[in-house]
Amino acid sequence: MIPNIFLITFLLVPLLAFVLVLLYAEKNESAISNTSFRAIALNLTGLIGFLIYWGITGFIAFNIKELTLYQSNEYVFLIDFYFDKVSATYLFTGSFITFLIVRYSRYYMHLEKGYRRFFATILFFYFSYNFTVLSGNFETLFIGWEMLGISSFLLIAFYRERYLPVRNAVKVFSIYRIGDIGILLAMWASHHLWHENITFAKLNNFNLVHHQLLEHSSIGLFIALCLLLAAAAKSGQFPFSSWVPRAMEGPTPSSAIFYGSLSIHFGVFLLLRTIHFWEQQIIARVCIFVVGLVTALVGYMIASVQPTVKTQIAYASTSQIGLMFIELSLGLETLVLIHFVGNAFLRTYQLLVSPSVVSYMIREQFYNFQSPKPEKRYLFGRKVHYSLYLLSLREFYLDYFMTKVVFMPLKKIGSRLNFLTYQNIFVYFLPTYLIGVGLFLGEKHIPFWLHYILPDVFAVIAVLMITKAFSERKYPKLAWLLVMLGHFWIALAVMHNEHFGIVEVLWYLGGVVVAGSLGWACLIHLKRQEGDLFDLYRYYGHSYEHPRLAGTFLMCCLGLMGFPITTTFIGEDLIFSHIHAHQFVLAFLLSSCFVISGIALIRIYARLFLGNHAKVYHENPLQSS
């Protein structure tokens, strides 16, 4: 009974505070900050009391099944919570640091434009953080994982009238979404491995896991590598490290809470939560070790030569997390938790005092400058030393690598689909889709080989349409429409793959139709209001004059990408439950659809509503914070 009350309180308090803050007037700073501060203080006090009770009762881990959102004969979508020493460590660290950040922000953000929006986003992040840390299965964890991603985007783009914060927020969100491919594929494969929505409590059963991996070693390794992909992207590990310093464009308190201390450690949390699954696989442990080692070395070299203090702290933090990956691969779970706490508090302190330290160092250099003494010893020779120095200055071209290898190919593919214009989209879509529906209705009369390849064919069509939406720059309504139609192709692909009932179709497409229709109405209204200032070649900053429309459109984007505010989120999981264990290509194609569509939708929102305002009679702020 007490654990249930604790969980409900720890989740509801920040959520209720978030709602209250949204109801306050923008100028009522005292009410906004006091509500936020008291909510975090209440949670921290309650957590300390519960930890004392938990210690008295013997530090026994417990699992609580809270809510079944959907259930059929073969599938259950369950909200499940789990509490153990990992949860306790992360919750205490997160609560204490958030308490400090909120206290600091009351004065740091004073008279800042967007004061209420900042505290609301912090509270939403804190709720998402708690939800993720307490998650007891992959489905529950993915809900929190998605909420962390969108709160990250909102905090980086807090200075939404400036170019660089908005651009970097989109870039960080895009890399986050790439990591989501790993989570989606791991969830899909674990359904087939366990034939249920496996809980983290069961994953701690050594005998159960060992028995399953003996019989299904290949799919076990696939799940472990997918988890590593998600963890590396979330924690800024090689080759995803370039997003961490670019996320520092937000206010200093948000940089401290997100990328210095808490959010960046969620890759470590994911590996900690699943350690008893992948620790029995030598190849997975070696891969984790190598990723951690390369990140630690590269991060150290880059941090040593960076000219800005925030970038130095960012890469120093990724380097330390690389060491945590190494410790995890060696099975040193307790040491990782201690390392996490120490690194989190150190980076929070460094980021909060960095403005004062920089000011002091500038004055110190101005009055007491001493030229550095040249170093004469080179460990690997002068040429190697200079080469590594230049590579470190250019951050080992990690940002260029992500752009060239991941995003540019998508843009090139989309540019080859220019025949999909706003005028003739339905000329191509309706006939082909009706053919697909006809083949589904007459599936008993089509050859087996055609029935076998149709799901992959329709999934490829969905990928192409969504990729075109990603690369579209001229017509926002066309990009929006392509994402909507891509969801219909996804549903058709799964219907051809396995029996997909009408109720399941409604769960999936219901949220798509509602969010897509409302978002379409928002675009039409904005087009009527702004006329020529309505394409995707630049950032227009229309949230300045249309704040309510911007908020509504953001909710539509989240609903269309499968964020947990519509039934589409459950529908996505339902879709993966109808992909067979051997269909890796189909699973990858559909997960890519969900990931690319999320990036495309956020790009539409950012370019229309964020950035410098296109109208010259508004103030023109600095590009960077």
pLDDT tens readout for residues 411-440: 888 888 888 887 788 788 888 888 888 888
pLDDT at 499 over 80: no
The predicted model gives 68-80 an average pLDDT of: 77
Neighbouring-strand partners of residue 70: 77
pLDDT tier for residue 335 given thresholds of 50, 70 and 90: very high
Give the per-residue pLDDT at 619.
66
CA atoms of 16 and 277, how far apart (whole Å): 36
Q: For the chain, count helices (H), then strands (E).
A: 26, 2
Give the per-residue pLDDT at 463.
93
pLDDT at 64 over 60: yes
Give the per-residue pLDDT at 378.
64
Q: CA triplet 247, 86, 218: central angle to 5 degrees?
A: 85
pLDDT at 624 over 60: no
CA atoms of 106 and 13, how far apart (whole Å): 19
pLDDT tier for residue 369 given thresholds of 50, 70 and 90: low
Give the per-residue pLDDT at 466.
93
The predicted model gives 582-597 an average pLDDT of: 92
The residue extents of the domains of the chain are 1-156, 199-358+383-405, 416-609
Neighbouring-strand partners of residue 63: 82
CA atoms of 350 and 347, how far apart (whole Å): 5
Write out the two tokens for 127.
């709720």
pLDDT tens readout for residues 175-208: 989 989 999 999 999 888 888 788 888 888 888 8
Three-state DSSP class for 352? helix
Cis amide leading into 307 (omega within 30): no
CA atoms of 519 and 549, how far apart (whole Å): 10
Question: Packing angle between helix 309-329 and helix 266-273, nearest 10 degrees?
Answer: 10
pLDDT tens readout for residues 439-480: 887 877 788 777 788 889 999 999 999 999 999 888 899 999
Q: What is the mean pLDDT of the chain?
A: 87
Give the per-residue pLDDT at 366.
62
Give the chain's end-to-end CA distance (angstroms, integer). 48
Give the per-residue pLDDT at 590.
93
Give the per-residue pLDDT at 356.
73
pLDDT at 1 over 60: yes
Write out the two tokens for 397.
């071209």
Neighbouring-strand partners of residue 135: 81
| Buried residues in 399-411 as b, exposed as e (16+ CB within 10 A) | beebeeeebeebe
| Buried residues in 493-518 as b, exposed as e (16+ CB within 10 A) | bbbbbeebeeebbebbbebbbbbbee
pLDDT at 317 over 60: yes
Three-state DSSP class for 312? helix
Give the per-residue pLDDT at 196.
79
pLDDT tens readout for residues 94-139: 999 999 999 988 888 887 788 899 999 999 999 999 999 999 888 8
Give the per-residue pLDDT at 521.
94
Instruction: Give the DSSP H/E element, type plus range, for residue 579.
Output: none
pLDDT at 12 over 70: yes
pLDDT tens readout for residues 247-297: 887 788 887 777 667 888 999 999 999 998 898 889 999 999 999 999 999
CA atoms of 518 and 509, how far apart (whole Å): 14
CA atoms of 34 and 481, how far apart (whole Å): 43
Q: Which residue has the higher pLDDT, 429 or 235?
A: 235
pLDDT at 153 over 60: yes
Three-state DSSP class for 235? coil
The predicted model gives 13-22 an average pLDDT of: 92
Give the per-residue pLDDT at 616.
67
pLDDT tier for residue 352 given thresholds of 50, 70 and 90: confident
Using the Cα atoms of residue 276, residue 278, residue 282 and residue 288 in order, give the sign of their dihedral: negative
pLDDT tier for residue 39 given thresholds of 50, 70 and 90: very high
Give the per-residue pLDDT at 5.
82
Sequential DSSP letters for 134-171: TB-BHHHHHHHHHHHHHHHHHHHTSSTTSHHHHHHHHH
CA atoms of 163 and 621, how far apart (whole Å): 9
The type of residue at 502 is: I
Give the per-residue pLDDT at 376.
62
Give the per-residue pLDDT at 571.
85
Give the per-residue pLDDT at 596.
93
Sequential DSSP letters for 28-88: -HHHHHHHHHHHHHHHHHHHHHHHHHHHHTT---EEEEEEEEEE-SS-EEEEEEEESHHHH
| Contact between 509 and 570 (Cβ < 8 Å) | no
pLDDT at 65 over 90: no
The pairs formed by 364-371 with CB atoms below 8 angstroms and a separation of 24 or more are none
